Each structure stands twice: as C-alpha cells, then as structure tokens.
A and B are shown apart, each in its own frame.
Chain A
Amino acid sequence: MTLKNANGDVASKDKTLSGPSGRKPRRVISGRNIMLYGTLFVAAIYYLLPLYVMIVTSLKGMPEIRLGNIFSPPLEITFEPWVKAWATACTGLNCDGLSRGFWNSVRITVPSTILSIAIASVNGYALANWRFKGADFFFSILIVGAFIPYQVMIYPIVIVLREIGIYGTLSGLILVHSIFGMPILTLLFRNYFASLPAELFKAARIDGAGFWQIFLRIMLPMSLPIFVVAMILQITGIWNDFLFGVVFTRPEYYPMTVQLNNIVNSVQGVKEYNVNMAATILTGLVPLIVYFVSGRLFVRGIAAGAVKG
C-alpha cells in the first residue's frame, strides 16, 4: 500500500537523452567518502549502543554494575542474571520469572497468527476474485477502522468478550488479535490475489472448480511468499503487543511484554539492573530472530503493516 506510490510515472520517459553512460571511476578514499561512511558509521553506533549496553549489563554482577560504567565490558562474565530473569524473578505474587510469560506469549502468538491469516486470506480472496455487491463498502469500513485508535474500541470489546464469556482468557486475546490484524492482512491478501493472472482463475472456473477448490488448489500454492510476509507481520506484532495483553487477560495469562514491564517497573525491592536487562533481551529475542532470519521479507511486512503500528 505504501511502497507502490514510490514508483512514479517517470520511469517510462524516453531514454534518448542519456548520452555516454557508465559510472565515473571513483576513488575509494575521498573527502566525500569519508564524510559518507563517517556519518553512517556514527549513526550505526547510535543504533547499536543500546543493544551493546543491554548485553553487557546482563552479563555483569550487581557489584560491578554499581561501580563501573554502563559501557565497560564485564570483567567477570556471569549468566546468573539470565537464569534469574528466566526462572525466578518476581512479578506480583509469582516468582517464576519470565518463563510463564514466554509460554503465554507462545500460546497467544501461534493461534492468533494462524487464525488471523486464515481468516484474512479467505477474505482477501473473496474480495479479489468473487466480488459481491457491498463488499467494497465493508472493506472500506475495515480499512478506515485500522486508523481508529485502539482505545476507542477497547471497552466495547471488553463488553462483547464478557458476554461471550471469554474475557480474561487466552481465547479472548487471540480473538482480539485476529480482529485487529484483519484490516492490514486482508488488504495484503486482496492486493496479492488481485495481482495473480486472472486467466488462471477463469480457466479453473471453466473447468468447474468452485470457490474453495480454487482457493485451496490454485491460489494457496501460488501465494507462499505473501503468507510468509503476513506471518512475519503477525508474529512480531502480536509478540510485541502490550496494550491488548494488559487489557484483555488476567495476570496468570499475561504475555511476556506485560510481565517484563512488571518485573522491571515493580516498586518493591532492590533494582537488579542486570536481571532487568537479561529479561529485556529475552523478551526481544523472538522478534529479533524473526527479523534476522527473514531479512527483506520483514521490510515488506512492516512496510505493509506499519499502519497497524
């Protein structure tokens, strides 16, 4: 939705004006290059510094943290903070660390991702290939809805979930994630299915294939890339969610982000910065792994899903 705007109409202008082409030979070390790489390098340090400080802090013992500065590497590497963050750090009444939150997040993210993609892909397919009267109207509402701040819809959803009887449970939260993932995912799938050659669809129809048959046997096998993009978008988005987790679940079902915030910002006790930073890294690990593994596809996903914020 966003990136396509960039490809302006200029690309088709005639190329007769370009005379002798080919790049000018360039010196490797020039004032320009020093400026260029220097700036990029400084910027890179700014972006990397927090990650470095997180890792370094999480490997120090508390005495070392109190004495040394946050940038100095650990004199004595200890993994105790990691163990504590995972297994014994306290949130509220429980002292079983982030492990519970981690498994909650897994139990939230996996079904939410599957459910939301299943629903949205079928929706997108219906919108792209089986247009019916009024579909565009509902789709417009859905897309406009993606811009409405969540806060506006939270309370009515609480009431709806309470009426169904799943308020405070994992299923409730899974449903909420599927609902809020719908606009952007539906848009993603609609545009993708619309870009597939229409002849395939027509030929299949002539051969007598129906709605589901075409979807399962022609559309699905052709859309693996977009499914991967949607998965990246949903996994990172749902894993990183905080607001829905805190509103729609009870403490025993809190996702990792909520638990992390409770561990770090709890008022009682001595602040164990090393444990806090280990916990922070642990929470960021899943989306970071998704990011590093998926590379360019991640960029596509977030560019498409940035509206979801």
Chain B
Amino acid sequence: MTGHAKAGRPNQFLRNLNSKIASIPMILTAVVIFLGGTIWTVVYSFTNSKLLPRLSFVGLDQYYRLWAAPRWVMSIENLAVYGILSMIFSLVIGFMLAALMDQKIRFENTFRTIFLYPFALSFIVTGLVWQWLLNPEFGIQSVVRSLGWTTFAFDPLYTPSIVIYGVLIAALWQGTGLVMCLMLAGLRGIDEDIWKAARVDGIPMWKTYLFVIIPMMRPVFITTLVIIASGIVKVYDLVVAQTSGGPGIASEVPAKYVYDYMFQAQNLGQGFAASTMMLLTVAIVVIPWAYLEFGGGRKRG
C-alpha cells in the first residue's frame, strides 16, 4: 500500500526544513495515533486487562471468550444481515434514483436536494426520527390500523427477530442520497456517444444500463461499495439512538459491544479483542480494494 510514490520521477531530494516542520502534526498523527494506537490495541487484546490495561498475556483467551459470548455472536449476525442488505439496497436504490435523475428531468436540483438532505443529519437525529415513526403506539402501525386494517403489524423496533430491518430502513433513508450523488456523477461521466451507439443498434434502455453502462461504471461502484462498507462496520450512533441495542440484545452491533466493554463493563480485554475483530473486517474489505486501486499500476483516483 505504499504505491503513492510517483513512479519514474527523479528523487529531487528537497531538504526543506520548513516542510518537515509543517508535516510534524501529520507525522505524529500517522505514527503515534493511527499506527501506534492500532498496534497498542492489538497487543493488549492478548492480555487479560480488566479495569486498567495490563500487560499480562493470556494468548487468545479474549478471542475465545468473545466468540463464546451470545451478545457478540448476535452483533456479528446483525452486522452481516445489516451490511449485506444495506450494500445491496443502497447500490440498487442509489443507482435507480441516479438513472432517473439522469433522464434530463426538470426540477433536478429540487429532487437532489430532497434525496440528499438526510445525509446532512446526524445518525442520532435519524435514529430518533425513525424511532418515532416506527413507534407502534403512534407511528406507522397505528396510522394504518386506524385506516381500517386493525390487524396490521409493523413494529420492527419492538420485535427482536426483525429489529435490524428497522435500523436498516433508517440507514437507507439517510445514506441512499449520497450513493445517488456518486452514481449520478458516474453516469454523467459516461460519454453521450455510448448512448447514441446503443440507440442506433436498437438495444433497449435497460439492457444498455445492465450490459454497457454498469460495467463501464465499475470504478464508481467499487469506490461507493468501499465507502458504504467502511461505514457499515462503524455503525454505532444509529443503533444507540434508535434501539439502544434492544429489545434485549437483538440489535447489538460490534461497535457498541466495543464501547460497552471498554467504558461501561470495564472489561478492556474484551473491548480490545472485539475492536481488533472490527479492524480485521475492515482490512478484508479495504486491502483488496487498495490493491486494485493503487497497486495494479493504474492511475490513482
């Protein structure tokens, strides 16, 4: 991942002191906080630190305990369901909205403003609004019931088996606007002539999208996917605001597990082990992407 050096450029050894001084904050952040902090956490995840970090190594004990904890397993299951669905739906909805917006429509700015404004809001705000809308006593369920469907049931936030979908709805509401913007930029980057050629050949529109445009937009899709994925792993605020992890442990997520064990249960070892697992997940997503993006000798974005 050190592919940032511009290849073929002579190394003009600029011994410039000012530049180095100016870069001290960046170097400190990179080395002490990002590199140092990460290594520190990984190292301490092999200790049995409780209230305070202690260097008494216990091997993989914390990890065995982690994977034996029902709450952690639930967190992972939730993250998997939430992650896969939100990737699929974000991309599909985002792309479809973008494709609609790309039809030289009127009021494009108005529509874009409407689709994107949730993204300006905090996850806390999003979570609370949807908590209110999904409230079974007052929200959508009660409104539909009062319209005559008295047995209508839609209370995801109070039903353990489907609570994660309630979180998903809110997350999609907030995030699809951004995906749409990225996709729209991608669509606008495609040459008009491609469309003309497809029309001349009599290829129907949906086929052109599916077999020509989408493959051409591969870089945009990959970048968007990485952005969505790295956001998914971090999901925390939304769950805290919307469900507080409940009912019971039904909507727990890894990021919340980490926070709770570090700062409330004061079981640091568990917190470190869990956060190391999060790191591993992100690495699995990001390393192949970084390799494709920066490693393969292609030009950088």
With A47-B173, A152-B41 known as contacts, the answer to whether A131 contacts B124 (CB < 8 A) is: no
With A13-B193, A70-B132 known as contacts, the answer to whether A4 contacts B301 (CB < 8 A) is: yes
The CA-CA distance from A127 to B259 in the complex, in Å, is 35
CB distance from B32 to the nearest CB of A (A): 8
The CA-CA distance from A138 to B182 in the complex, in Å, is 29
* Dominant SS among interface residues on chain A: helix
Q: Is the CB of B31 within 8 A of A138?
A: yes
Q: Is the CB of A149 within 8 A of B2?
A: no
> Of the candidates B26, B44, B105, which one forms a contact with A138 in the assembled complex, judged by CB atoms under 8 Å apart?
B26
With A17-B193, A186-B26, A212-B18 known as contacts, the answer to whether A148 contacts B34 (CB < 8 A) is: yes
Q: Is the CB of A36 within 8 A of B105?
A: yes
Segment at the interface with A among B61-69, B151-159, B184-192: B184-192
> Of the candidates A133, A145, A155, which one forms a contact with B13 in the assembled complex, judged by CB atoms under 8 Å apart?
A133
Q: Is the CB of A36 within 8 A of B100?
A: yes
What 0/1 readout, one digit per residue, does chain B (11-32) give for beta carbons within 8 Å of chain A? 1111110111011011101111
Is B217 positioned at the interface, with any CB of A under 8 Å from its CB?
yes
CB distance from B154 to the nearest CB of A (A): 13
Q: Is the CB of B230 within 8 A of A147?
A: yes
Name the residue of chain B whose CB is nearest to the CB of A139: B4
Q: Which of B227-283 contact A (CB under 8 A)?
A: 227, 230-231, 233-234, 236-237, 240-241, 244, 254-255, 258-259, 262-263, 268, 271-272, 274-276, 278-279, 282
What 0/1 readout, one digit per residue, does chain A (91-135) give for beta carbons within 8 Å of chain B? 000000000000000000000000000010011011100111101
With A40-B111, A147-B230, A242-B124 known as contacts, the answer to whether A69 contacts B132 (CB < 8 A) is: no
Q: Is the CB of B16 within 8 A of A142?
A: no
CB distance from B86 to the nearest CB of A (A): 13
Segment at the interface with B among A166-174, A196-204, A301-309: A301-309
Q: Is the CB of B117 within 8 A of A126?
A: no
B271 CB contacts on chain A under 8 angstroms: 155
A273 CB contacts on chain B under 8 angstroms: 132, 138
Q: Is the CB of B301 within 8 A of A10?
A: no
> Of the candidates B35, B181, B224, B259, which one forms a contact with A247 in the assembled complex, judged by CB atoms under 8 Å apart?
B259
CB distance from A270 to the nearest CB of B (A): 13
> Of the candidates A69, A141, A299, which one forms a contact with B35 in the assembled complex, judged by CB atoms under 8 Å apart?
A141
Name the residue of chain B whose CB is nearest to the CB of A43: B97
Q: Is the CB of A6 within 8 A of B278?
A: no
Is B125 positioned at the interface, with any CB of A under 8 Å from its CB?
yes
Is B46 positioned at the interface, with any CB of A under 8 Å from its CB?
no
> Of the candidates A40, A48, A284, which one forms a contact with B105 in the assembled complex, judged by CB atoms under 8 Å apart?
A40
CB distance from B224 to the nearest CB of A (A): 8
Is A195 positioned at the interface, with any CB of B under 8 Å from its CB?
no
Q: Is the CB of B286 within 8 A of A141?
A: no
A135 CB contacts on chain B under 8 angstroms: 19, 23
Name the residue of chain A whose CB is nearest to the CB of B112: A299
Q: Is the CB of B33 within 8 A of A153?
A: yes
Is B130 positioned at the interface, with any CB of A under 8 Å from its CB?
yes
Q: Is the CB of A153 within 8 A of B34?
A: yes
Interface centre among B25, B41, B101, B130 (most CB of A within 10 A): B25
B165 CB contacts on chain A under 8 angstroms: none
Q: Is the CB of B25 within 8 A of A182?
A: yes
Segment at the interface with B among A73-81, A82-90, A221-229, A286-294: A286-294
Q: Is the CB of B276 within 8 A of A152?
A: yes
The CA-CA distance from A40 to B97 in the complex, in Å, is 8
Q: Which of A145-189 contact B (CB under 8 A)?
A: 145, 147-157, 159-160, 179, 182, 186
CB distance from B129 to the nearest CB of A (A): 5
Is B220 positioned at the interface, with any CB of A under 8 Å from its CB?
yes
> Of the candidates B19, B38, B130, which one forms a contact with A153 in the assembled complex, judged by CB atoms under 8 Å apart?
B38
B31 CB contacts on chain A under 8 angstroms: 138, 141
With A4-B301, A6-B188, A140-B4 known as contacts, the answer to whether A153 contacts B37 (CB < 8 A) is: yes
Name the residue of chain B whose CB is nearest to the CB of A236: B120
Name the residue of chain B whose CB is nearest to the CB of A127: B23
Is B177 positioned at the interface, with any CB of A under 8 Å from its CB?
yes
B29 CB contacts on chain A under 8 angstroms: 142, 145, 179, 182
> Of the candidates A131, A143, A287, which one forms a contact with B122 in the assembled complex, judged by CB atoms under 8 Å apart?
A287
Q: Which of B148-206 contact A (CB under 8 A)?
A: 173, 177-178, 181-182, 185-186, 188-191, 193-194, 196-197
The CA-CA distance from A293 to B68 in the complex, in Å, is 50
B40 CB contacts on chain A under 8 angstroms: 155-156
> Of the candidates A65, A137, A302, which one forms a contact with B138 in the assembled complex, judged by CB atoms under 8 Å apart?
A65
The CA-CA distance from A288 to B8 in the complex, in Å, is 46
Q: Which of A1-24 contact B (CB under 8 A)?
A: 1-8, 10-11, 13, 15, 17-18
A130 CB contacts on chain B under 8 angstroms: 14, 16, 18-19, 22
Is A276 positioned at the interface, with any CB of B under 8 Å from its CB?
yes
Q: Is the CB of A5 within 8 A of B301?
A: yes
B237 CB contacts on chain A under 8 angstroms: 242-243, 257
CB distance from A102 to the nearest CB of B (A): 13
Q: List the 8 shortest-distance A-B pairs measured between CB atoms, nearest first.
A: A145-B34, A130-B19, A6-B189, A240-B122, A211-B18, A156-B37, A291-B120, A153-B37
Please list 21 pairs of residues, one from A and one from B, whose beta carbons are closer than 8 Å in the complex, sorted by A's number: A3-B185, A43-B115, A47-B114, A50-B129, A51-B117, A53-B132, A126-B22, A131-B19, A132-B20, A138-B31, A153-B33, A153-B34, A156-B37, A179-B33, A242-B124, A243-B236, A247-B259, A257-B125, A265-B241, A284-B125, A303-B182
